[in-house]
Structure 1
Amino acid sequence: MKHSQRTEGVTVGSNTALLPEKKVERPRYTPVDLDRHPAVEALLGRLGLGAFDRDSLAAPVGRNDTWAGRTTGGRSVFVKRLVGTDPAEVERRMKRLLAFHLWARDLPAEALRGPDFLGYDRDAALVVFELVDGARNGAELMVDETFGADLATTIGEAVGQLHTAVPPAGADWDRSLPYQPPLEALHGLSPATFDSLSFGELQGWRLMQQDADLRAAVARLREWEAEAPLVPTHCDLRVDQLLITGDTVYLTDWEEFRLADGARDVGSFAGEWLYRSVLDIVTTRGDTVFVDLELTHEMVISRGVAKMQRLMPLVRDFWRGYRTARPTVDDRFAARAAAFAGWHLLDRLMAGASRSSRLSGIERAAAGIGRGVLLQPEKFIDTLGLGDS
């Protein structure tokens, strides 16, 4: 099916540059052999795009099969094939992704959206987008410290516009609670899940499962979430999913999109910067002087506070933009957003643990901070930049 109406990303005024010009050099990864998936080029042909120029192909890193390159019709496109061990879950992800992109045509110009959606093959779990050439993702800007206040404010406004947008009448959208945070897994893992985890992940789950206060805090957050107003929500927002080119911003990976608690998206953005501030405890980013020595507990705390004070203003800028677009939220919204930010650090802990046999000291520090925020989210609202001031 062809998606004929073009959708533009979020833009700011013509006099505001979100991103300094910088040539982006990324490693090229070999994509999955297209001959194993003839449905890809069959779809490109039906869309009138032509076949891929095989010499131009690259594969962005991700959990799905992806192909990015030029076609014989002269278009630069990105194709994603959703993959997973459970066909029913792949179908649910596809349904949610299509629900967003087919609706995004009618969103306000200021709302978040993905790159131009060109078409799809639902049976083959394939989607096709315009390739955003030369874009940088938000994680790259975060690391090289070019993620500025204007960009944070613009993204906050765009998320707020998304959350205030009205779903189409009779829309059959997913209303289920997202899987994360997985309360059931905090009480026990299935044998199949246990056998699939790394030693680092098992270590992380053991730490969380033995923490009764943490389990209670997650249960409380899930109860709050179940009572929250439902709005169109991305539900898996991370800065590496933001694509920025010039003064235009796109958000990718809408497979978790649904009607949900908007505090999830706000908390995820805050959690990204909270996690970055913890990682920076052992870096020289933002330091005038740094002595390379073993950090004591007191030094970890003091450096952590300093790093948070340096980065949290970006969350404040995001929150200011969000409240401009969505001035009214429920009384518990900021507390839920803070709690989701706390959980985000624990989620990042498990993501890192999947690639190692043990948890590092800095990962444990991040988990400890995330736990503290999750247990007492009201106490951290202002610290995270989510207050009224």
Structure 2
Amino acid sequence: MTDEVNPPARGVRMPWEEVAEHVRAEVEDFLGAPVAEAVTQDGGFSPAAAVRLRLQDGRRAFVKALNSAVNPDSPDIYRAEARIAAALPADVPAPRLLTSFERDGWIVLIFEDVEGHHPVMPWRRDELDRVRAAITVMSEALTPSPIEVPTLAEVMGDSFRGWRRLLEEDTTGLDPWALAHLKELAELESGWEEAGAGDTLLHADLRADNMLLTGDRVYFVDWPWACKGHAFYDQVGMLPSVAMQGGPQPWELLTDPDPAITTLVAAVTGYFVRQGRRPSPAGLPTLRAFQRAQGVVSLEWLRQRLSG
């Protein structure tokens, strides 16, 4: 049974052995040695294989392999990740993409393997401080964006209409405060594109399972949603998951009173609240519980900012 209060950021991964034999053979051919061991990485929601490979000669690689028939939206996400990963400057703290290819309905990305670990859950304050400091440094280094990417509005435009869509939908079971203020929240949300504008290259999907900590660095992985926008957006999007995974509340960590941040919090909250009410998408049975839990935290954060 899924823990609805603190659900893990974990979906149903495909084992390496279920990847088509000819695709596995092409991976080995590219890497130049047979695979001796394949260890599935269970963080994240994608239905693809995500494995750390140890080759017979001792070298390592990280491979993501998606069967495009599993989920209709996943192929374009993987193609976007391949494009972005290939374009990221070498000094961005992200694993280097070695190659990508498509064969017979399979999409494969091969990365360098980073010998690190995800932040410990529940969040430890020392690791959280490391991560937030790394995000700040990365945001400063990536302003202006060093690569051509869509804007935050272009990437999230259709998603950040949660409150406005709820005006026209069944609101049974919606939080009483949200229901009482639905029109005001929809109006606030409507200004998010202007509030989110900026020239910082954003990861736009930061969570513990998209981070790897080594002895001296923090790496940020999985960049398919990369875009440019308000420098604070990465933290706005990340902090609800921090709280629901045992860390401090977002209003304790991000105290800047900038109205633009409040508008972004409203947009993110509307997204999580509405998405959490929808049926599970194909191949992603655990996603909605994670979104619902983030929606609970986000809603309290929004209420705190609007009452302050």
TM (normalized to structure 2)? 0.69
Q: What one-letter code is carried by the residue in structure 2 that aligns with 1:213?
A: H
- Alignment of 1:154 with 2:134, yes or no, is yes
Cα drift, residue 340 of structure 1: 5.3
* Structure 1 position 173, deviation (Å): 8.1
1:262-301 matches, cutoff 5 A:
262-276=231-245
Q: Does 1:76 align with 2:60?
A: yes
Aligned to 1:92, which of 76, 79, 87?
76
Q: 3-state SS of the aligned residue for 1:256?
A: coil
- Specify whether residues 120 and 367 from structure 1 end up closer, same or farther in structure 2 by C-alpha distance, changes over 3 A only: closer
User: CA 1:148–1:92 in structure 2 vs 1: closer, same or farther (change >3 Å)?
Assistant: closer
Unaligned residue ranges in structure 2 (runs of 5+): 1-12
For 1:322-341, list aligned pairs within 5 A: 332-339=259-266
1:201-350 equivalences in 2 (<5 Å): 206-207=173-174, 211=179, 213-214=181-182, 216-218=184-186, 220-225=188-193, 228-231=196-199, 232-276=201-245, 308=249, 315=254, 332-339=259-266, 342=269, 346=273
Residues 310-330 of structure 1: CA distance to partner in whole angstroms, max 9, x if unpaired?
x866557xx8xxxxxxxxxxx
Q: Is the 8 A contact 1:43 1:120 kept in 2?
A: no
Q: Which structure: greater strand fraction?
A: 2
For residues 264 and 89 of structure 1, what CA distance do their matches in structure 2 show? 24
**Where does residue 67 of structure 1 map in the other structure?**
51
Indicate yes or no: 2:111 matched with 1:136.
no
Alignment partners' CA distance in 2, 1:334 and 1:173: 17
Write the distance in 2 (CA, Å) between the matches of 1:81 and 1:185.
Answer: 34
Question: 1:217 and 1:370 mapped to 2: Cα distance?
Answer: 13
Q: TM-score, normalised by structure 1?
A: 0.57
Q: 1:268 to 1:216 in 2, by over 3 A?
A: same
The residue correspondences of 1:97-108 to structure 2 (distance < 5 A) are: 97-105=81-89
Instruction: Give aligned pairs, total.
Output: 279
Looking at CA atoms only, which structure, 1 or 2, has the larger radius of gyration? Answer: 1
Once residues 218 and 347 of structure 1 are traced to their aligned partners in structure 2, the CA distance between those partners, rounded to angstroms, is 12
Q: Which consecutive residues of structure 1, in runs of 5 or more, have no partner in the other structure?
A: 1-28, 190-201, 281-306, 320-330, 381-389
User: For the structure 1 residues 379 and 76, does the alpha-carbon distance in structure 2 shift closer, same or farther, using more than 3 Å as the test?
Assistant: farther
Equivalent AA in structure 2 for residue 90 of structure 1: S
Alignment match, 1:21: none
* Cα distance, 1:315–1:149 mapped onto 2, change above 3 Å: farther
Output one character per residue of 1:243-301: Cα deviation in whole Å (capped at 9) or x when no partner: 0010111111112223445443120233233434xx57xxxxxxxxxxxxxxxxxxxxx
Instruction: Tell me if the contact between 1:70 and 1:77 (Cα under 8 Å) persists in the aligned partners.
Output: yes
Which residue number in structure 2 is paired with residue 176 of structure 1?
Answer: 154
Contact 1:60–1:67 (CA under 8 A) maintained in structure 2: yes
Amino acid at match of 1:115: P
1:22-42: CA deviation from partner (whole Å, max 9, x where unpaired): xxxxxxx98242563522330
Question: 2:6: which partner in 1?
Answer: none
